[in-house]
Amino acid sequence: MKTVKLPPGPWKLPVIGSLHHLIGFLPHHRLRELAKNYGPLMHLKLGEASTIVVSSPEVAKDVMKTFDTIFAQRPHQVGADIMCYGSTDIVTSPYGGYWKQLRRICSQELLSIARVRSFRSIREKEVLNLVRNIETNVGSFVNLSEKVASMTSAIVGRTTFGEKCKDQKEFISIVKKLVEMVESMVIFDMFPSHKWLHVITGQKPKLEELHRKYDVIIGNIITETEKKIGEVEVNSLLSVLLNVRNQDSLEYPLTIDNIKAVMLNIFGGGTYTSSAIIEWAMSEMLENPEVMAKSQEEVTRVFSSKGYCSEESLEELKYLKAVIKETMRLHPPFPLLHPRECRETCEVKGYMIPAGTQVIVNAWAVARDPEYWSDPEKFYPERFMDSPIDYKGNHHEFIPFGAGRRICPGISFGVITIELCLAQLLYYFNWKLPNGNKENLEMAEALGAFSKRKTDLVLVPIPRNPLPISSNLN
């Protein structure tokens, strides 16, 4: 039996410089280049931890389908333990009964299609607020990145808490900082025996302090919501969880701390992912004006008889859906999927992977595999028209939401926001670059584990269709 190849040289990376984003030393595109030499299953020795990086659809299928139960574990992470109440959230909790119960709650109650639909009026109002705000700036520069991010936060905030709570701004800013800090703490997981690292970097106490602030704010929000539940009808993800908590049928009782941990996933997962995809889709359409024109023709055909965009017609936007898929193919928000861990020694493609090995799937690389995608670097939404390939985990060459048991449970929630927002941006406005020249459009990615634009997308909106004057959405 072969053991996993350990490429020489490049992996003897000294741990130097900033401890922030060590993964920045190993960006997804660099890993893909290395995979061309070392094959689609590479063994990296990052500190004390062994990590396997998977870069082909076939091996991804083995990890996320054939041996999914073996690889459905998440590795223990010091930062996640502090941030997520002992890793009792959905993303980082270990594979087992408690996590399965959370997934069941997600699919049946929290993020079911019916639940997502029930928040339609929130989405429609917040997207309309966005386009109304943009309308007041027509002809001048608009920082679309900022505006879209604040819209997705508002949608997630109101969906989660029911209405705007007074501490929402601070809450969002703390969640953002928490997520960034946890990312930077991967270094501790690479050197688990070097506890002194926690002390000299000062990261751990900083994270604990931030976590205490989060705990106070979310604690107050929960107390307020509990009071309201008896008095008025509340439809929010938090109220759903608080109601589920009282069900006798729960095998693993849900504590308030567990709910606080899950709230972090909803905010972290729901906000930045959708806004990053919207930004990239707009950027790609500006780079490819023929795609922008085709998408605008489609939204005009679908919405012009009504005179405004609403969710019920989104199903008809076949081309826009292809644009969104193509955007997620080239710019998956998590180019390297959340790490998994091998629960028992397992043979993959003839190599023995020992129990306890961390496994990272390079979703960015598989979506550019030339064996599966013709002209893979080209932004070409037509490739998805009349194609059965979707992002629901059945096609391992396209896994922006992951696949298998750990697949993202928020697909419907995320996609509908992206579709509605893009449809409106395209229906109500034409878009110009500040200097009118697409050659100067910056398309670089920021460094880090999350794929977002390096610079904010600043554009000039030009009126295209009038916004509804008084809307029945209000």
Tokens (6 digits) for 414: 């995320």
Q: Output 91 or 353, the one with its CB closest to ligand HEM.
A: 91
Residues 321 and 423: their CA atoms lie apart, in Å, by 10
Q: Which is nearer to ligand HEM, 262 or 299 (CB)?
A: 262
Query: How many of the other CB atoms lie within 10 Å of CB of 48?
Result: 11
Tokens describing residue 206:
């900083």
* Residue 44 near ligand HEM by CB under 6 A: no
CA–CA distance, 328 with 269 (Å, rounded to integer): 15
* Closest approach of ligand HEM to the CB of residue 273, in Å: 3
* In the complex, least distance from residue 136 CB atom to ligand HEM, rounded to whole angstroms: 28
Is 222 within 8 Å of 162 (Cβ atoms)? no
- CB-nearer residue toward ligand HEM: 362 or 424: 362
Asked if 421 touches ligand HEM (CB under 6 A), the answer is no
Query: Smallest distance from the beta carbon of 248 to ligand HEM, in angstroms?
Result: 25
Q: Which CB atom, from 128 or from 408, has the smaller least distance to ligand HEM?
A: 408
Sequence-separated contacts (24+) of 218-226 with Cβ below 8 Å: 218/171, 218/260, 218/263, 219/256, 219/260, 220/167, 221/161, 221/165, 221/167, 221/171, 222/256, 222/259, 222/260, 224/165, 225/161, 225/162
Determine which residue in the list 414, 422, 428, 459 makes contact with ligand HEM, applying CB under 6 A.
Answer: 414
d(CA 342, CA 186): 18
User: Among 47, 400, 461, 468, which residue interacts with ligand HEM (rule: CB under 6 A)?
Assistant: 400
CA distance 359 to 127: 38
The rounded distance, in Å, linking the Cα atoms of 285 and 293 is 9
Nearer to ligand HEM, 91 or 420 (CB): 91
Provide, rounded to whole angstroms, the least separation between the CB of residue 266 and ligand HEM: 5
CA distance 211 to 175: 9
Using CB under 6 A as the binding rule, the residues of this chain from 333 to 362 that contact ligand HEM are 333-334, 337-338
169-175 contacts, C-beta under 8 A, 24 or more apart: 170/217, 171/214, 171/217, 171/218, 171/221, 171/267, 172/267, 172/271, 174/210, 174/213, 174/214, 174/217, 175/214, 175/264, 175/267, 175/268, 175/271
75 makes contact with ligand HEM (CB under 6 A): no
Shortest distance (Å) from residue 137 CB to ligand HEM: 26
Applying CB under 6 A, among 122, 148, 407, 449 the residue interacting with ligand HEM is: 407
97 vs 230, beta carbon nearer ligand HEM: 97
Indicate if the alpha-carbon torsion angle 257, 260, 266, 272 is positive or negative: negative
CB of 74 to ligand HEM, least distance (A): 7
AA letter at 29: H
Contact 262, 190 (CB under 8 A): no
Question: Closer to ligand HEM at the Cβ: 333 or 381?
Answer: 333
Residue 366 CB, nearest distance to ligand HEM (Å)?
12
> Hey, which residues between 231 and 290 contact ligand HEM (CB under 6 A)?
265-266, 269-270, 273-274
Give the residue, chosen from 162, 381, 410, 468, that forms a contact with ligand HEM under the rule CB under 6 A. Answer: 410
What does R_g of the chain's alpha carbons equal in angstroms?
A: 23
Least Å distance, CB 49 to ligand HEM, is 18
- Tell me which long-range contacts 6-12 makes (C-beta under 8 A, separation of at least 24): 6/43, 6/45, 7/34, 7/37, 7/38, 7/42, 7/43, 7/44, 10/34, 11/44, 11/45, 11/46
Count of residues of this chain found to bind ligand HEM when the rule CB under 6 A is applied: 25
List the one residue from 67, 413, 428, 431 that touches ligand HEM (CB under 6 A). 413
The residue from 80, 91, 144, 423 that contacts ligand HEM (CB under 6 A) is 91
Contact call for residues 254 and 241 (beta carbons, < 8 A): yes
| Contacts with ligand HEM, 147-186, as mask; x by CB under 6 A | ----------------------------------------
Give the nearest distance from C-beta 141 to ligand HEM in angstroms: 27
Would the annotation count 346 as a binding residue? no
Nearer to ligand HEM, 4 or 367 (CB): 367
Q: How far is the CB of 160 from ligand HEM (least distance, A)?
A: 8
Annotated binding-site ranges: 408
Annotated binding-site ranges for heme: 408
Residues that bind ligand HEM (CB under 6 A): 90-91, 103, 111, 265-266, 269-270, 273-274, 333-334, 337-338, 400-403, 406-410, 413-414
